[in-house]
């Protein structure tokens, strides 16, 4: 079974700083990582391959440096890596991104064999939109399974799959036919360490590098900024709140006294909270 | 080459490539504001009602009607959901009622919603950023080849009549305002609890426009086999709790986290935590508060041993009163808390639990 995992190299946003004057992201020195949600997808793909045979291709669209993330994925055990990189993709929003990735997926199918399963993480940590997976599925006519918590059953011969999907208030057990696109929920597995063999292989591996033309994309107007219906009008820093914090004095206070002070301060600040609490206590 | 291609994150601002052009002729007929009203297992999701409140303001600003969209498996669900939409501000409700829609499936819902859009042409379409809403919105926007802005925190109509959708980007470090200029509808999702719930007007009613769904069950590939409801104990009411107590890494151990639960219980509230606690396995993912967790709007939020990183902040800013307990007087949480206590949470939490317990039982006896 040939499985493709779409992943993204993202800035480690925990370490991002905003320039105080220009309100732009200061990228210098910010480390990049594989989007953490994509690792759940990659691990799930590797497990299926280990069980059923076949191979795992990782695909990313990004700047040339995104190759680092692909190599990392190879050290975890992915078999092949494809980097889709072209100036024409600059400024892509989710619609333009899913267009380019779908084209690359189609090309991967032609070059390296049909792809019954495409995986992505549930969303990225920089964009947080969760839109690219569904966009790819729609463009390629794949059955779409988002927020998947568990693959309950997969029968490659019959071409069927059953999964548990996170929904409001519970899990939906869904069955559908391959080919599918699956977005994996977080926390469903743990990324393996990867073997020494994989590390050697990754170091020597050739990352396949495709331009828009290589991926068979002729409609450049559907890529990048031109192909993006959404336009960023402005970027700004969240406003600081005018109201100042009111500190509860702690000097000369034992813990129990301090607790009573804090409670009193809460009730002073928001009297309705005390009323609510008393109503709750009375109802117990 | 952008570093953030598959996002709504900062790209060159409008004016360069995205200059405002005349809206293409065939989009000029697109009018009215729509809210997809989410209903699973007979329960209308509160985020839809919150969106109707927001949609009402946008519709009034544009001088157009506000419509709810109800996709339902049976007449009763359709009727009760429509009623909720009217009572929360909709002028009319489009309904598609078909047994095929009894459970959410991407295929069927995408088809029903895109058919509605193509027939009745809304200029703005809003959905909740729930699992259902995001799954559906992504497919519908791709099918319609239009723009979709995820997880907005503010929606407005700009001077030229476009939807200006503001959302956090880069994990909440920045906000950006996004327009969908030359495509219709303009689509956006909003997370639960980001917008406030509009007051319910009992008995308020409007027009219902029904549309059939030309789709047979045999033609739908994906089947819902079963629904495994969460155990009662797993159901976090976090997003809608009036009182939330949360802990962070400052608590130092899973055992100490129990102090948070104990206080929450005495206060009749719910509990949650910062993201590292999920990673450490002290709490489950549905208890994470913040940018990549839940947004909350409680009356009282007590944060114990939480530094107040921007990603946490954006999830709690809607709280009425934020109380921060932190040993570090320079912790960022003190920049947005209303009440600050520079103290050891591991000692103060049990003392607070005792204090509230004593106060509540005394006053209960007195009352
Ligand atoms: C993409 C992305 C998304 C994220 N999403 C979220 C999210 O949704 N929610 C979230 O919370 N975080 C999120 N984060 C993580 C966030 O950036 C912070 O790392 C996290 O919130 C810090 O958690 P913390 O405050 O518990 O821990 P720390 O930052 O380690 O802070 C611990 C605090 O406890 C204090 N302390 C220590 N001992 C005590 C004591 N005995 N008593 C009282 N105080 C004490 C310390 O002074 C310190 O301020 C995200 C990060 C990224 C990159």
Which comes out higher in pLDDT, residue B93 or A188? B93
- The rounded Å distance from CA A73 to ligand 1 centre is 28
DSSP state of B90: -
The most distant pair of C-alpha atoms in chain A lies apart, rounded to whole Å, by 75
What 3-state class would DSSP assign to B105? coil
- Kindly give the parts of chain A with pLDDT less than 50: none
Q: How far apart are CA A276 and CA B42, in angstroms?
A: 29
Q: What is the mean predicted confidence (pLDDT) over B199-214?
A: 96
What share of chain B in percent tops pLDDT 90? 80
Q: Which of B152, B181, B148, B170 is nearest to B3 (CA)?
A: B170
The DSSP symbol for B73 reads: S
Listed residue (B135, B162, B149, B156) closest to B188, CA to CA: B149
* Residue whose entry in the numeric block shows the structure tokens 């959302």: B167
Q: Rounded to the nearest 5°, which phi and psi values hold at A33?
A: -135, 165
For chain B, list the strands marked E by DSSP: 33-37, 39-40, 43-44, 66-72, 92-97, 124-128, 148-152, 154-157, 163-169, 174-180, 186-190, 207-210, 223-229, 243-247, 270-273, 300-304, 321-326, 339-342
* B207-210 vs B92-97, strand pairing mode: parallel
Instruction: Check B309 against A16: CB less than 8 A apart.
Output: no
CA B245 to chain centre: 20
Distance (Å, rounded) from C-alpha A114 to C-alpha A178? 11
- Distance, in Å, from the CA atom of A179 to the CA atom of B259, rounded to the nearest integer, reads 48
Q: What is the mean pLDDT of residues B58-87?
A: 98
Predicted confidence at residue B3, as pLDDT, reads 37
φ/ψ (deg, to 5) at A125: -90, -10
Start-end of H helices in A61-217: 67-76, 94-112, 132-140, 196-204
Q: Which residue's entry shows tokens 């080849």?
A: B145
What mean pLDDT is predicted for residues B197-220?
Answer: 96
pLDDT band at B17 (very low <50, low <70, confident <90, very high): very low
Cβ-defined contact of A97 to B321 (cutoff 8 Å) = no
Give a three-class secondary structure readout of A117-162: EEEEECCCCCCCCCCHHHHHHHHHCCEEEEEEEEEEEEECCCCEEE
Question: CB burial class (10 A; 0-12, 13-18, 19+) of residue A252?
Answer: exposed
Which residue in B226, B309, B341 is closest to A248 by CB distance? B341
Select the residue of B130, B174, B348 nearest A237 (Cβ to Cβ).
B174
pTM: 0.88
Q: Pick the residue with more confidence: B4 or A159? A: A159
- Residue among B167, B158, B309, B156 at smallest CA distance from A236: B167
* A102 contacts chain B (CB < 8 A): no
> Tokens representing B22?
């005349």
- Residues B145-198 pLDDT 10s: 999 999 999 999 999 999 999 998 877 778 899 999 899 999 999 999 899 999
The answer, yes or no, to whether residue B13 has pLDDT greater than 60, is no
pLDDT of A29 reads 77
At CB < 8 A and 24+ separation, what contacts does B53-57 make?
B53/B88, B53/B89, B53/B195, B53/B196, B53/B197, B53/B198, B54/B126, B54/B155, B54/B190, B54/B195, B55/B89, B55/B90, B55/B124, B55/B126, B56/B89, B56/B198
- Which of A114, A255, A66, A160 lies closest to B6, judged by CA? A66
Residue with tokens 């107007």: A221
Q: How many CB pairs under 8 A join A and B?
A: 373
Cβ pair A4, A152 in contact under 8 A = no
DSSP H/E element including B256: helix B254-266
What distance in Å separates the CA atoms of residue B346 and residue B343, rounded to the nearest whole number?
A: 9
Q: Which residues contact B58 (CB under 8 A, 6 or more apart)?
A: B33, B66, B124, B155, B156, B157, B163
Comparing CB atoms, the residue among A139, A174, A266 nearest residue B142 is: A139
Q: What is Dmax (Cα atoms) for chain B?
A: 71
The per-residue pLDDT for A214 is 98
pLDDT recorded at residue A13: 66
A23 Cα distance to chain centroid: 25
Residue A83's nearest CA partner among A106, A102, A101 is: A101
Half-sphere exposure of B309 (CA within 13 A, CB side): 20
Interface test with A, best of B3, B5, B286, B320 (most A CBs within 10 A): B5
Query: Which of the residues B2, B6, B276, B338 would you substitute to probe the A interface, choosing the one with the greatest number of A C-beta atoms within 10 Å?
Result: B6
Task: Report whether pLDDT(B92) > 70.
Answer: yes
- Please, are residues B155 and B218 in contact by the beta-carbon 8 Å criterion? no
Please tell me the number of Cα atoms within 13 Å of A38 on its side-chain side. Answer: 27
Least confident of A35-39, B5-9, B205-209: B5-9
Q: Radius of gyration of chain B from Cα atoms?
A: 23
Query: pLDDT tens-digit profile of B270-327?
Result: 999 999 999 899 998 889 999 888 999 999 999 999 999 988 998 998 899 999 999 9
Protein residue closest via CA to atom 8 of ligand 1: B290
Q: Please state, rounded to an integer, the average pLDDT across all residues of chain B.
A: 91
> What number is the average pLDDT over the span B350-359?
96
Cα(B93)–Cα(B122) distance, rounded to whole angstroms? 13
ipTM of this predicted structure? 0.90
**Distant-in-sequence, close-in-space partners of B312: CB < 8 Å, separation ≥ 6:** B248, B274, B275, B289, B290, B291, B306, B333
pLDDT reported for residue B7: 44
Q: Is the pLDDT of residue B1 over 60?
A: no
B362 touches A at CB < 8 Å: no
Residue A25 tokens, joined: 């992201």
B278/B276 Cα distance (integer angstroms): 5
Chain B, 79 to 98: residues with Cβ < 8 Å from chain A are none
> From the CA of B314, how far away is ligand 1's center (Å)?
13
A167/B300 CB distance under 8 A? no
| Residue contact B142–A95, C-beta within 8 A | yes
B288 pocket-lining for ligand 1 (C-beta < 6 Å): yes
CB pair distance less than 8 Å for A128 and B7: yes
A182 three-class SS? strand
Report pLDDT for B346.
Answer: 98
């Amino acid at each position: 079974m040939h499985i493709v995992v779409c992943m993204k190299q993202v800035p480690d946003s925990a370490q991002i700083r905003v320039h105080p004057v220009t309100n732009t992201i200061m990228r210098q020195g910010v480390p990049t990582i594989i989007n953490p949600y994509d690792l759940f997808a990659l691990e799930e793909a590797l497990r299926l391959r280990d069980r059923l045979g076949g191979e795992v291709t990782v695909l990313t669209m990004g700047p040339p440096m995104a190759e680092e993330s692909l190599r990392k994925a190879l050290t975890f055990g992915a078999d092949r890596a494809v980097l889709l990189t072209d100036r024409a993709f600059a400024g892509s929003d989710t619609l333009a991104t899913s267009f380019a990735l779908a084209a690359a997926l189609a090309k991967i199918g032609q070059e390296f064999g049909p792809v019954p399963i495409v995986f992505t993480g549930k969303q990225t940590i920089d964009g947080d939109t969760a839109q690219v997976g569904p966009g790819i599925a729609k463009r390629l006519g794949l059955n779409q399974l988002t927020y998947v918590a568990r693959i309950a059953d997969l029968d490659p011969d019959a071409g069927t799959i059953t999964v548990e999907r996170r929904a409001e208030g519970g899990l939906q057990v869904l069955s559908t036919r391959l080919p599918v696109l699956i977005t994996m929920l977080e926390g469903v597995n743990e990324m393996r360490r990867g073997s020494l063999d994989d590390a050697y292989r990754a170091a020597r591996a050739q990352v396949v590098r495709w331009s828009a033309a290589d991926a068979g994309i002729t409609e450049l107007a559907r890529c990048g900024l031109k192909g993006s219906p959404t336009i960023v009008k402005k970027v700004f820093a969240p406003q600081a709140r005018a109201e100042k914090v009111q500190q509860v004095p702690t000097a000369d206070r034992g813990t129990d006294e301090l607790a009573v002070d804090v409670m009193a301060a809460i009730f002073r600040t928001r009297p309705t909270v005390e009323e609510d609490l008393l109503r709750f206590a009375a109802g117990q | 080459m952008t570093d953030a291609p598959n996002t709504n994150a900062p790209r060159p601002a409008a004016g360069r490539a995205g200059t405002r052009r005349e809206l293409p002729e065939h989009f000029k007929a697109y009018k009215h504001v729509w809210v997809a009203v989410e209903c699973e297992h007979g329960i209308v999701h509160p985020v839809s009602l919150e969106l109707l409140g927001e949609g009402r303001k946008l519709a009034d600003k544009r001088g157009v009607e506000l419509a709810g969209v109800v996709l339902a498996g049976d007449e009763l669900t359709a009727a009760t959901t429509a009623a909720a939409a009217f009572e929360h501000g909709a002028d009319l409700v489009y309904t598609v009622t078909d047994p095929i829609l009894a459970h959410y499936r991407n295929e069927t819902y995408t088809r029903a919603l895109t058919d509605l859009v193509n027939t009745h042409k809304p200029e703005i379409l809003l959905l909740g950023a729930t699992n259902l809403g995001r799954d559906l919105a992504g497919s519908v926007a791709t099918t319609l080849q239009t723009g979709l802005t995820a997880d907005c925190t503010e929606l407005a109509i700009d001077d030229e009549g476009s939807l200006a959708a503001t959302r956090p980007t880069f994990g909440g470090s920045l906000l950006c305002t996004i327009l969908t200029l030359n495509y219709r509808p303009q689509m956006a999702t909003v997370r639960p609890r980001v917008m406030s719930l509009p007051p319910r007007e009992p008995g308020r009613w409007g027009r219902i426009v029904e549309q059939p769904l030309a789709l047979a069950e045999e033609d739908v590939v994906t089947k819902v086999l079963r629904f495994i409801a969460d155990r009662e104990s797993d159901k976090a009411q976090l997003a809608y709790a009036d009182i939330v107590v949360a802990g962070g890494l400052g608590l130092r151990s899973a055992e100490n986290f129990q102090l948070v639960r104990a206080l929450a219980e005495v206060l009749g509230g719910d509990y949650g935590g910062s993201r590292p606690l999920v990673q450490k396995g002290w709490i489950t993912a549905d208890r994470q508060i913040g940018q990549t967790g839940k947004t909350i709007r409680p009356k009282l939020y007590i944060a114990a041993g939480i530094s107040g990183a921007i990603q946490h902040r954006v999830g709690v800013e809607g709280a009425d009163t934020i109380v921060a307990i932190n040993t570090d007087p320079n912790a960022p949480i003190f920049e947005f808390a209303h009440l600050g206590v520079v103290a050891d949470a591991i000692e103060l939490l049990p003392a607070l639990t005792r204090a509230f317990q004593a106060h509540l039982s005394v006053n209960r006896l007195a009352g």
